[in-house]
Chain A
């Protein structure tokens, strides 16, 4: 066969999350240390496709990315049509832990971007012993809102188009056009109200200001990586957050915005590989 096949495989797993059954889609590639990947609000696991095709990563890590319920190829739970989707901190943590339990991954490393970066901080706070390393990309304890989320879901504005158009400014100008537009396409494909529902966690329920005392980076190392062009989670937001967590290791990434792994994978790997090297070395030493 001469066709170019990527090493990524996809499957479904059934999870029980807060008493509701969810059919969750995930993709994986590679072998070794499990690395669970969390996508941004209103998007899906395709954001990690480049990471899953990078041999420098997959030769040492089993990279696993799942679509949160309501996102990508994961349906909402049964009965969704009578509810309004609002992601809460508790639901988000339960989903991540249920996924890790279902796949029986042993103390995975975990990387999350944007809302995934915020929940990394909550995991560091409450569940550090369950992870061997936590990597928050575009992560902070809080960010100042810069638009009214009611525009994301209303009858006279196309939800997919407005979501993509809003976040288009969060992509760095240096990012290759092909990956910029792939990243935006994910937003165009989101379900109605899903991006807005994710932002309930981001803006309302998941404010971690003043709640990050006691994070043990000696138990679980915490790495924070933020792009200089991210005006939603700004470098200053991440630096402020890191300053409140002894041992947190922070890097501001040049020529990257809010979606580093998706918008410019080549530029991002220059920052991520040293982190993964450190994770691998620490795992080998234990």
Chain B
């Protein structure tokens, strides 16, 4: 018997992010561990000297991170549309409307903000 179990939306989004951002790199002295959460599904992104070197969807016990970005599955789906609607197009637009949370030590985030914004946008659909 072949039983197919659908992945929950959060896990699907996390998998999409891992695929899209796994090779992300910029010429930048930036090292941090970031947690990105899609509903209940986490991805821990390890960045070393501007390159994503590891993405974990199964977090080990006592896992630590520098800062986290968390939003619902719906918010990420809207954010990742090829042309997002107004209000869903930027992490601070989502934060202002209460759809996204930014937590932790914000210094590495703010010192590398465009890097992180570009990294988070890698999951965006392509224009047809």
Contact = CB atoms under 8 A, between A and B. Distances in A.
B3 interface: no
Interface string B112-128: 01100100000000000
Contacts of A151: 106, 110
Q: Size band of the B side of the interface?
A: 10 to 19
A146 B92 CA distance: 7
B95 A161 contact: no
Nearest to B127: A173
Interface in A152-169: 156-158, 161-162, 164-166, 168-169
B86 A165 contact: no
Contacts of A31: none
B113 A161 contact: yes
B89 A166 contact: no
A33 B88 CA distance: 40
A229 interface: yes
B93 A231 contact: yes
A231 B95 CA distance: 11
A94 interface: no
Contacts of A80: none
Interface of B is mostly: helix
A165 B30 CA distance: 15
B90 A231 contact: yes
B107 interface: yes
A174 interface: yes
Contacts of A165: 113-114, 117
B89 to A, nearest CB: 5
A231 B124 CA distance: 20
A158 B28 CA distance: 13
Given A146-B95, A146-B96, A169 B110 contact: no
Given A156-B107, A157-B107, A231 B113 contact: no
B35 interface: no
A157 B114 CA distance: 12
B86 A147 contact: no
B64 interface: no
Contact of A168 (B95, B97, B106, B114): B114
A174 B96 CA distance: 21
Contacts of A157: 107, 110-111
Contacts of A231: 86-87, 90, 92-93, 96-97
Contacts of A229: 86, 89
Contacts of A158: 111
A144 interface: yes
Contacts of B117: 165, 168-169
A228 B113 CA distance: 24
B111 A147 contact: no
A164 B110 CA distance: 11
B69 to A, nearest CB: 14
A144 B92 CA distance: 12
B8 interface: no
Interface of B: 83-84, 86-87, 89-93, 95-97, 106-107, 110-111, 113-114, 117
Given A162-B113, A231-B96, 4 more contacts: A146-B96, A169-B92, A229-B89, A231-B93
12 contacts: A156-B111, A157-B107, A157-B111, A162-B110, A162-B111, A162-B113, A165-B117, A168-B117, A169-B90, A172-B86, A173-B83, A231-B92
